[in-house]
Amino acid sequence: MRTLTEQDIRGSFINCSKGEAKRLAVPRDLDERPWDDLDFLGWRDPGAPDRSYLVTEREDRLVGVAMRFQPARRGFLHRSMCSLCLTTHPRGGVALMTARKAGPAGREGNSVGAYMCTDLACSLYLRGRKVPETGARFEESLTLEEQIARTRGNLSAFLDKL
């Protein structure tokens, strides 16, 4: 994806108020992110451990989503798989991210959840730039390009529900 600025990011959020988008923690190392290898930028909020965010491009438009992070329950899901990149991680490596829906549905408290890599580094796992701790990626018969297309499709399907 293209290189984003803090301003791009703050202006992209579809499911939080302008005030929240202005205050939320944007990564400080945007210049050093491997943009060419990212399908989306995802990050955790260092000041609010239950919050995470992702920003991606859809038809040349930026879409940012604020999410709540739900740690895996005790004794539940020893290994689980990210619904975006299909990487399997040991417990803690995948979390249920819930996002408030955009607009009135969100104000009424409706949200959408999906299991995602807790560190939101899906793009890097796909490309082998990051290796899951003791988890693994399936032996894929798909090419990297196909896997990237699938991940983007999965992300798109999630965004469509918001």
Which x/- pattern, by CB under 5 A, does the window 45-84 give for Zn ion?
A: -------------------------------------x-x
CB-CB contact of 62 with 4 (8 Å): yes
**Burial level of 89, CB count in 10 A (0-12/13-18/19+)?**
buried
Task: Give least dist CB 136 to Zn ion, A.
Answer: 13
With binding defined as CB under 5 A, does residue 94 bind Zn ion? no
CA–CA distance, 24 with 85 (Å, rounded to integer): 26
Task: Quote the CA–CA distance of 119 and 162 in Å, as a whole number.
Answer: 21
Binding mask 98-137 for Zn ion (x = CB under 5 A): -------------------x----x---------------
Nearest to 122 by CA among 142, 156, 143, 147: 147
Residue closer to Zn ion (CB basis): 10 or 137: 137
CB 24 within 8 A of CB 45: yes
Instruction: Please name the helix (run of DSSP H) or strand (run of DSSP E) that holds residue 53, with its range, or none.
Output: strand 51-58
For the bound state, the minimum distance from the C-beta of residue 104 to Zn ion, rounded and expressed in Å, comes to 30
Q: Which residue is nearest to Zn ion (CB)?
A: 82
Reading the block at residue 102, the tokens are 């955009």
Which C-beta is closer to Zn ion: that of 21 or that of 85?
85
> Which one of 16, 85, 102, 155 is in contact with Zn ion (CB under 5 A)?
85
**Which positions lie near Zn ion, rule CB under 5 A?**
82, 84-85, 87, 117, 122
